[in-house]
Amino acid sequence: MEVTFLIIAAVMSVGAVRLVTTKNLVHGALYLVVTLFGSAVFFLIALAEFVAWVQVLIYVGAVIVLLLFGLMLTRAPIGRTALDNENRGFALLVSGGLFVVSSVVLWRAFDGKRINLDTELFSSADLGTALFTRFVLPFEIVSVLLLAALVGAVILAKKD
């Protein structure tokens, strides 16, 4: 388990870093696939089976296709200078500072806490029960939000 996690963590980190540094935007989308798929594998080893398959279906299946369409419908210049703006040093400072601060704080706060991954998976039936009893109102609100957002997207993107 731990070896698997370390491997997928390394792969996901490399994918994310390559996404924000690559010169070719389509390659960036493919590196995003690597990162999202790695997190689906993590969900599988972290006992969340249903979330893992939702991740594969929604993110790797739908979101990436949408992003690739977005990239191909909007011609973008290729090359590092054209892709990064002049805030690069500042952005590196902010994100590096955030990473250092949050990892130090979290490392000290959760010292010695371990996840026990050798137990049974959380079953999809329990997740469905939780979703349709305790969280049924947020669930319906989210579905209305999704409908409104997709109708709005169609209206925005259609030619007059």
Residues 56-95 that bind another protein (CB under 8 A): 58-59, 62-63, 66-67, 69-71, 73-74, 76, 82-85, 87-88, 90-92, 94-95
User: Of the candidates 9, 27, 41, 53, which one interacts with another protein according to CB under 8 A?
Assistant: 9
Q: Is 136 in the site for another protein (CB under 8 A)?
A: no
Q: Is the dihedral of CA 71, 75, 76, 78 positive or negative?
A: positive
Q: Is 28 in the site for another protein (CB under 8 A)?
A: yes
Convert 45-79 to b/e letters by CB count within 10 Å (16 or more is b): bbbbebbbeebbeebbeebbeebbeeeeeeeeeee
Q: Is 7 in the site for another protein (CB under 8 A)?
A: no
Alpha-carbon gap, residue 49 to 1, rounded angstroms:
15
Give yes or no for a contact between 49 and 121, defined as CB atoms under 8 angstroms apart: yes
CB 53, min distance to another protein, A: 11
User: Of the candidates 13, 23, 27, 140, which one interacts with another protein according to CB under 8 A?
Assistant: 13
C-alpha dihedral (83, 89, 92, 96), degrees to nearest 10: 180
CB 13, min distance to another protein, A: 6
Q: Is 55 in the site for another protein (CB under 8 A)?
A: yes
Q: Is 102 in the site for another protein (CB under 8 A)?
A: yes
In 3D space, the residue among 61, 13, 12, 64 whose CA is nearest the CA of residue 38 turns out to be 12
